[in-house]
């Protein structure tokens, strides 16, 4: 038995097979709104994650300084005395050491105010981290355990 489809029914089925321009524009607008809210949150998450690598390395240096103090009755005046690769060094976002010209560098670590009984270690943001982490900027840690930053942010540590 043959089914008879009228021309009106055939035209109705043809219209149902595609997506209209209005429907497509509604989807694009909804995706744009979602992206407008999600992208800034994502970029801030990345900045905080990279800041975590910097704070972690500062705490590692502090731990090494305490060990050095117990062994030598003074704090180290350079990173090389504690076994780090150089007098100042760079780290990537996973905390590994990198060269000065490396495009993956996130923080530059340096020691200052070093005496037998004091030190300050500073993590200075580099490249994109420096441009995006304006809330905290330079992270510091002293021999007393005082944690600070140069931009006055409250959630840097």
pLDDT tens by residue, 43-87: 999 999 999 999 999 999 999 999 999 999 999 999 999 999 888
Answer yes or no: is pLDDT of 21 > 80: yes
What pLDDT score does 11 carry? 62
* Average of per-residue pLDDT values in the chain: 91
| Three-state SS letters, 34-51 | HHHHHHHHHHHHHHHHHH
Q: What is the mean predicted confidence (pLDDT) over 93-113? A: 92
Contact 90, 107 (CB under 8 A): yes
Nearest alpha carbon to residue 99 among 86, 112, 110:
86
Query: Higher model confidence: residue 57 or residue 88?
Result: 57
Give the pLDDT of residue 49: 94
Buried b / exposed e across 110-136, counting CB within 10 Å, b at 16+? ebeebeeeebbbbbbbbeebeeebebb
In angstroms, how far is CA 151 from the centroid of its own chain? Answer: 17
pLDDT at residue 143, as a whole number: 96
CA 135 to chain CA mean position, Å: 13
């Amino acid at each position: 038995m043959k089914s008879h489809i009228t021309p009106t029914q055939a035209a109705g089925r043809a219209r149902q097979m595609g997506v209209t321009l209005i429907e497509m524009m509604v989807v694009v607008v909804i995706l744009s709104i979602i992206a407008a809210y999600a992208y800034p949150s994502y970029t801030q998450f990345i900045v905080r994650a990279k800041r975590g690598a910097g704070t972690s390395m500062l705490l590692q240096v502090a731990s090494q300084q305490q060990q050095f103090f117990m062994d030598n009755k003074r704090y180290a005046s350079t990173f090389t005395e504690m076994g780090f690769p150089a007098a100042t060094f760079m780290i990537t976002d996973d905390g590994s050491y990198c060269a000065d010209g490396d495009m993956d560098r996130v923080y530059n670590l340096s020691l200052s105010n070093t005496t037998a009984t004091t030190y300050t270690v500073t993590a200075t943001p580099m490249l994109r981290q420096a441009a995006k982490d304006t809330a905290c900027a330079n992270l510091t840690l002293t021999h007393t355990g005082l944690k600070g930053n140069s931009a006055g942010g409250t959630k840097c540590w």
